[in-house]
Amino acid sequence: MPDNISSSRTLPWFVRSGARTWRCLPAPDEVRAFHAALPGHSPTPLTELPSLAEELGVGRVFVKDESCRLGLPAFKALGASWAVHRTLAERAASGREPGPVTLVTATDGNHGRAVARMARLLGQHAHVFVPQGVHPQAVAAIVAEQAKVTEVTGPYDEAVRLAAEEAAGPGAVLVQDTAWPGYERIPGWIVEGYSTLCAEIDEQLAAQGIGEGPDLVSVPVGVGSLAQAVVTHYRSRPSGRAPALLSVEPQAAACVLESLTLGEPVSVTTGHTTMAGLNCGTPSSIAWPLLRDGLDAAVAVPDADSARAATHLAALGVSSGYCGAAALAGLRAVLTGAAVDERRAALGLDATSVVVLLSTEGTAANPHRPLVPPQQTGSESGKTAAC
């Protein structure tokens, strides 16, 4: 059984031992080459923020800034592009009739826009189902990609169900970034697409003199697909440092934390959260085994903490939406408060540790009004990026 060793009653926190010794197979090598050949592709920045290292009591802190990935304000284009490429190639190889197909998906914003962008660029159609709570500007951005949008009066899981029903029709294919029994190949391709992000981090850290990789990676989590990619990358390396891996969710939608606590995948009833892209009630079926065995810890944070983290990152020159800033909010929650020494020890952190925060989206991806006033903090890395 996993070890939940937190003695804090106020922090929704889970930790288990043994994750850093668990191993799995790596992602395929050809994904990186595919992305490198796409028009407009370039690695996203890995920005060092010394003031955060000082605040958190670690050696160095880097933020992987996904505010502009392939022309979109979030990392999702990596998975969508590879999965759509594989899907269309497979259809062509099977001898099916040529001509446009409709790529169907459900989204909290970023994934749907990425699928719609790929459909438009490749001469396909897109139909995107959007659950309640997604900001109208995010919906408008999907419409601007020439996609048909259906707004659902229910949560994310309901939007996924309706998208799957729609994709059962002729000339349609479901391109969903969560999996369930019987629907796993395309979600698996999406996860493979995210491996490019991790490979870039390795190279960027090496350029900073950190050849063995980070000591901890903090990952925002919805259904767990990005976290699955991160676990796959760091738990498949034959040598080098095995970092601690921390997942961060909204308190209103902590399906992975609840599943880890119970030891089996469960669905939770979600509430409203400004971390819209993380507002998911059920872990992906293909992600769950890797999250169960490869994550060191999980934490859930309130919206206000994520908003403060986003404001702080903006003051330091990093554009981060509330979902992206969850990585910082979660790490702050773990490294402060009651039982902090116990949590630091469980994650293997000390004053020399190297930490990577995955800021999965820019402010343009999640256009909510700030919940806290801007901090008057000097920038360490220039102006906030825009996409």
- Summarised one tens digit per residue, pLDDT across range 23-42 is 999 999 999 999 999 999 99
In DSSP terms, which residues pair with 128 in a beta bridge? 105, 149
Where in the chain does DSSP place strands (E)? 13-15, 46-48, 60-65, 102-106, 125-130, 148-151, 172-174, 216-220, 244-250, 297-301, 354-359
- Check: CB of residue 375 under 8 Å from CB of residue 313: no
| pLDDT higher than threshold 80 for residue 98 | no
Tell the residue number behind the tokens 């079926």, with chain if given: 285
Candidates 65, 108, 215, 303; catalytic one: 108
User: What band does 7 get if pLDDT is binned at 50, 70 and 90?
Assistant: very low
User: What band does 137 get if pLDDT is binned at 50, 70 and 90?
Assistant: very high
Taking Cα atoms as reference points, which of 329, 251, 218 lies closest to residue 10?
A: 251
pLDDT digits (tens, 9 = 90+) for 193-230: 999 999 999 999 999 999 999 999 999 999 999 999 99
Q: Which two tokens stand for residue 279?
A: 């507002």
| pLDDT higher than threshold 90 for residue 58 | yes
Q: Residue 383 burial by CB count (10 A; 0-12/13-18/19+): exposed, middle or buried?
A: exposed
Poorest-confidence range of 179-183, 240-244, 311-315? 240-244
User: What band does 240 get if pLDDT is binned at 50, 70 and 90?
Assistant: confident
> Quick count: other Cβ atoms within 10 Å of Cβ 371?
16
257-276 mean pLDDT: 96
Candidates 3, 29, 64, 76; catalytic one: 76
Between helix 303-315 and helix 322-334 the angle, nearest 10°, is 100
Q: Is the dihedral of CA 18, 331, 276, 198 positive or negative?
A: negative
Q: In what order do the strands lie in the sheet with 148-151?
A: 148-151, 125-130, 102-106, 172-174
pLDDT score, position 368 = 65
258-277 mean pLDDT: 96
Query: Using CA atoms, how far apart are residues 201 and 195, in angstroms rounded to an integer?
Result: 10
pLDDT score, position 367 = 73
| pLDDT higher than threshold 90 for residue 4 | no
Concerning whether 29 is annotated as a catalytic residue, the answer is no
* Average pLDDT score, the chain: 92
Query: Using CA atoms, how far apart are residues 41 and 316, in angstroms rounded to an integer?
Result: 25
| pLDDT higher than threshold 80 for residue 131 | yes
Query: Using CA atoms, how far apart are residues 225 and 284, in angstroms rounded to an integer?
Result: 7
Concerning whether 350 is annotated as a catalytic residue, the answer is no
pTM listed for this prediction: 0.92
Q: Are strands 172-174 and 216-220 parallel, antiparallel or unpaired?
A: unpaired
| pLDDT higher than threshold 90 for residue 369 | no
pLDDT score, position 382 = 37
Structure-model confidence comparison of residues 384 and 35, the more confident one? 35
At 361, is the secondary structure helix, strand, or coil?
strand
